[in-house]
Amino acid sequence: MRLDPGMDFGPWLARQLKQSGMSQADLAQRVGMTRAAVSAWITGRATPREETIHKIAEALGTDLGTIHTRTADTLAGLPISWYHRPGHADGGREFGNAAAFAFEADVGVLAREATQNSLDERLDLAQPVRVRYTLHELSGEALARFRDEIRWDDLLPHYEAAAQQDQKVGRMIAGGLSDMYDRDRLVLLRIDDYNASGLTGDDYETGRFAAVVRRQLDSQKSVSGAGGSYGLGKATLWATSRLGLVLMNSTLSEPHEGRTERRLVGRLDLPWRKVDGKPWAGPAWFGRPDPDAEDVNVARSWWADEESVERLHLTRESAEPGTSFLIVGAHDVASLVEGTDTDADVEDDDSVHRMHHRLKDALGRNFWAAMTGGGKQRPLLEASVRTLRNGVEIIPETRVDPRETQPSRTRALQAFLDGTTVDRMTETGQVAMATVPLMVPAPAGHGNAVEHRAVVLVTEAEDGDDGKPNRVTTMRGNRMTVKIGWVPGLPVGTNPFQAVLLAGRAAGEDAPFADEAEAFLRASEPPEHDKWGQTEELRMLYSPSAYRRIGALTNQANKAVRELVALPKKSRKGGPERLRKRLSVGGRKTARPTPPAGPPTLEELDARIDDSGAWCVTAEMKIPAGGDSWRPAPVAKLDVRSGPRPVLAWSELVAVHNCEVVDGTIRFAPGARTATFRGTTDVTTHPVRAQFSGLVVELRTDKGAQA
Amino acid sequence: MRAFPYQRLPGVVSLRVTSVELRGPDDIRDPLDTSAFSAIEQVVAPGSTGRDDWEWLRMKVSATVPGRATAPDSPWTDLAVVVVLSEGATNTRISTALTPGAENGRKWEGQLDLWRADHLDRATMSVHVVATVDGVAGREIAASAKDWIIDLKAEAPLRERELEVVEVGFREGPQWLRRFQEVPWAVDTSGDLPVVHINKDFEGVSDLVGGNGTSVDNMVRDLLIAQMCTDVWTAVFHTAIGDLEIEDDGTPLFPRDWRGEVLREMLPDVVPDLPVEDALSEVHRRRTGTSGWTDLQPRIHYAATRRGDVPKALSATIRGLDSIHRGADA
């Protein structure tokens, strides 16, 4: 499958010469032509004849196919290798990436940040961006092959040097190495997105590629309603890798160097270290040495062939633009916390399973809204998760369905998009809608505040909901959950509900001043995207008191929710309120501890009807400690719906175990904790045939019956 | 413990009301807000709208039945899910069969009409699963554990009921109260719900109980309220225990209305160390038997005092007075 036509011969040849460090004159000499002829091929003024092409292939050390298709580089010249940034001349040392420390290394956070980045890079705005998470556990042979492929032997000295440092990053790397060597396993977590822009742009100049691969804290966002604005999110990719290593394969939406498919590069984030007596600053790149760079060893992205992409576990399923990130040595701090220390050395088979489910949960929790479509709108996002072990699928690909994890919230948003909301709920399953004002101040105090109307949706909570009921989920245009807040002041007996507050662009096309509100709320979001409130940006762009508008919005939203779900305050009846409140019956359950030596209770009842129509019961009793002095009397009654229950007499009552029967009461053996008796009812005392009624057996323990 | 001569359906059967519509003269159809029926409290309060001209109401209900009921290899055939609405006070009983809905026969849906004239106060509604078992038709194989209540008088969908408090001048009031004109309050437990009458002719008691004044005023008020509550609880307990239905073997039954609730709440203080059912038998035995009733009076008084929160009110008062004195001394 060769979907892209390959480069023109001239530029391709120039590139191969540059990469192999061969001059035009060198090539001319090897193929027996003049330097002018080679120059003519490169500029496109002439094309070589078939026999000359044979000689060129020989000189470049490649086959004819590669020359004819020109979709990949020849293997001639400098091989794919690691380039480590040399230590700073000023002796400065960095023991880690500050951006990575801003996050917990937790697959939930990763799912949130990485998916958010994919959403922001959505290419065709009429279609959802598709995100797929693949967990792949490698061991044995497969692990060894993968290590060869990433030139592990070249990396190992750097890892060992880094692991010896007693710094946070050093300890993490040491843990990652021992996990791989001691347990012979490595977890790869791959994040693919489709219908996204891909890593476009030059290797070094400003663009998406450089923003992700070369730079820190560069927020290269293509849409103004984007989720992130700090360029921090991508750091979670490296933070999730215990080895600080991420490989990338991108299919570009705009060609670069005449190509779009299989642009590969790797980046390693290590702390400062000394290897072979030389200091290294930290990061390293996996790629083809760039002859154009000042330092010939600088690695740049390369256009790989299908086989090597396959060997690096980076094959994409189609030529649709987007990027695959492969996190090498993925781990999940949060799930490690869940496990206890004692079983840390036991092989934990479940860890990829656990990560799979945590990924699915995190996607469902954070992106249910982005995955919901309705009316004329398709969802913004489709996401799925699958898990493999050494190439074999162990958990099949499952699409994250928001209706499964968040049935009620999804229903609320869908009704809003479909335009089927109601003003007041009269039937369960309906979605009520109200609007609340958000006063958006003018930037930097110039001009007047404008009133944006945010949308509040309320619907009944479903049993399948993830999380607690009676909450308001808040979001803006990117439809990512910013926070989930509890609604205070709800009266007793309020039906459980879920509410959604849509502000900014999420409030719909007709909402007034949506763009202004969107920009305002985005400025009020901290890097974690987990609340709206005071931020430095908000203070600078608006005013120091601007955050109060958000508090007002929250209050208004809570009030609107209360009005939709709760009854208006009861009209006051006569009589002093204070007294009436104290005089209520029913509903109150005061727990009192059960006394230690309570009466014996029936534990097990085995009852059947014998041939004569009598009930034969065998009953086991539980006797609390010190309760063996009770003398309970077993009573059999017929179960009726209302009124007194007819009592049946016993024709026979015998002790079976740990007790004796005296005058219809049971005396326990001293110290007994369980006892069993058997009884048969007297048919003549049955008011109806036994077949027609249920039986109730009780132990009557009147105070007087206690010895 | 119960035993049945046939196989029953294990698992939870639940019922919920999904919508309520009030119907009245001239084809009025007024759907109630969902806030008028609480799924948590399991109460429908048609009175919460404030409209009083409705004649009947139509409820849509849905029941969830364990999936085993309709499994192909189940021992039950001719399965039916029936909702029964009844009210003991009027002896009304309406049943409606539900029809299977979505979710593979787990959900059953239907509607039920309630005529206002047939009911007095609180109707209860439960769901029963009925099937043919071993060739016997119409056996109940499962039922909901907690009833729904349709409370015709309440303004909010709550199970808890507040006793009535009426402020009335005893001197000119109803005949039976005139004899009590020199006391500040009287309790009447003869009606549907106990009523506390506060004597308006007793100078200042209304203002004291209902008002908010200086810290001393409030302490006295709280103490007074605690005292009134103690009186009320003592009275209602005696009323509740005085009129019990008795089974053949002499076991008393818990009344179904407020009396039962009062007993369940107070008996653990009256007869500690016993389950409430046994405590009820014990109290009943002492009341009707030859001895023991007098011995029980301090326990009843204790339970009422606790229920009235007297210890809390009194210690707050003592502390408050103490600090006032210290303030005055300083």
Q: What residues does each domain of chain B span?
A: 14-151, 212-322
Tell me if chain A has a CB within 8 Å of the CB of B196: yes
Q: Which residues pair with B131 in a beta bridge?
A: B139
Q: How many CA atoms lie within 13 A of B230 on its CB side?
A: 20
Residue A104 in 3-state DSSP?
coil
Chain A closest-CA separation from residue B164 CA (Å) = 7
Q: Are A506 and A475 in contact (CB under 8 A)?
A: yes
Tell me if chain B has a CB within 8 Å of the CB of A584: yes
Q: Are A158 and A275 in contact (CB under 8 A)?
A: yes
Inter-chain residue contact B38 with A637, CB threshold 8 Å: no
CA A525 to chain centre: 20
Inter-chain residue contact A576 with B309, CB threshold 8 Å: no
Separation of alpha carbons A695 and A636, rounded Å: 7
Residue A313 in 3-state DSSP?
coil
Q: Which residue of A has its CA nearest to B86?
A: A642
Q: Which of A240, A247, A213, A214 is nearest to A100 (CA)?
A: A240
| Ordered DSSP codes for B223-270 | HHHHHHHHHHHHHHHHHHHHS-EE-TTS-EE--SSHHHHHHHHHHHHH
Tell me if chain B has a CB within 8 Å of the CB of A622: no
Q: CB burial class (10 A; 0-12, 13-18, 19+) of residue B212?
A: exposed
Best of B23, B149, B162, B245 to mutate (most A CBs within 10 Å, chain A): B162
Q: Which pLDDT score is estimated for A591?
A: 56
Report all structural domains of chain A as residue ranges with CATH numbers, in order of start: 9-69 (1.10.260.40), 81-336+349-373 (no CATH), 407-565 (no CATH), 601-705 (2.60.40)
User: Which pLDDT tens digits describe chain B residue by residue (330 residues)?
Assistant: 888 888 889 889 999 999 999 998 888 888 988 888 988 889 999 988 878 889 999 999 999 998 888 888 888 989 999 999 998 778 899 999 999 987 667 899 999 999 999 998 889 999 999 999 988 888 899 999 889 999 988 888 888 888 888 888 899 888 889 999 899 999 998 877 889 999 988 888 888 888 888 888 889 999 999 999 999 999 999 999 988 888 777 788 888 788 888 998 899 889 887 778 888 988 998 898 888 888 899 999 999 999 888 999 999 999 998 988 888 776
Chain B closest-CA separation from residue A383 CA (Å) = 26
Residue with tokens 């009844």: B86
Inter-chain residue contact A586 with B159, CB threshold 8 Å: yes
Tell me if chain A has a CB within 8 Å of the CB of B282: yes
Tell me if chain A has a CB within 8 Å of the CB of B34: yes
Amino acid in the structure at residue A217: L
Q: Which residue of B has its CA nearest to A576?
A: B210
Tell me if chain B has a CB within 8 Å of the CB of A626: no
Q: Which pLDDT score is estimated for B239?
A: 92
pLDDT < 70 stretches in chain A:
1-7, 61-78, 96-105, 216-232, 291-296, 333-350, 445, 464, 466, 568-575, 587-597, 642-643, 702-707
Q: Which pLDDT score is estimated for A219?
A: 60
Q: Are A632 and A600 in contact (CB under 8 A)?
A: yes
Q: Are A416 and A501 in contact (CB under 8 A)?
A: no
Q: Which pLDDT score is estimated for A144?
A: 87
CATH number for the domain whose boundaries are B14-151? 2.60.40
> Which helix H or strand E contains A423, and what residues bound it?
none
Q: How many CA atoms lie within 13 A of A580 on its CB side?
A: 18
Q: Which pLDDT score is estimated for B276?
A: 83
Q: Which pLDDT score is estimated for A503?
A: 92
Q: Which of A657, A705, A653, A662 is nearest to A681 (CA)?
A: A653
Residues of B in contact with A426 (CB under 8 A): 19, 21, 31-34
Residue B161 in 3-state DSSP?
strand
Inter-chain residue contact A694 with B5, CB threshold 8 Å: yes
Q: Which pLDDT score is estimated for A705?
A: 43
- Interacting residues of B50 by C-beta distance below 8 A, sequence separation 6+: none
Separation of alpha carbons B328 and B330, rounded Å: 6
Tell me if chain B has a CB within 8 Å of the CB of A576: yes
Chain A residues 454-493 with a CB less than 8 Å from chain B: 460, 491-493
Tell me if chain A has a CB within 8 Å of the CB of B59: no
Chain A residues 661-700 with a CB less than 8 Å from chain B: 690-698, 700
Q: Are A256 and A250 in contact (CB under 8 A)?
A: no
CA–CA distances in Å: residue A558 to residues A457, A501, B81: 11, 10, 40
Residues of B in contact with A646 (CB under 8 A): 248
Considering CB atoms only, which of B33, B60, B272 is closest to A424?
B33
Separation of alpha carbons B20 and B11, rounded Å: 28
Best of A579, A645, A692 to mutate (most B CBs within 10 Å, chain B): A579
Tell me if chain B has a CB within 8 Å of the CB of A340: no
ipTM over 0.90: no
Q: Which residue of B has its CA nearest to A597?
A: B273
Q: Which residues pair with A620 in a beta bridge?
A: A604, A676
Q: Which pLDDT score is estimated for A262?
A: 86
Q: Are A55 and A30 in contact (CB under 8 A)?
A: yes
> Which helix H or strand E contains A353, and what residues bound it?
helix A351-367
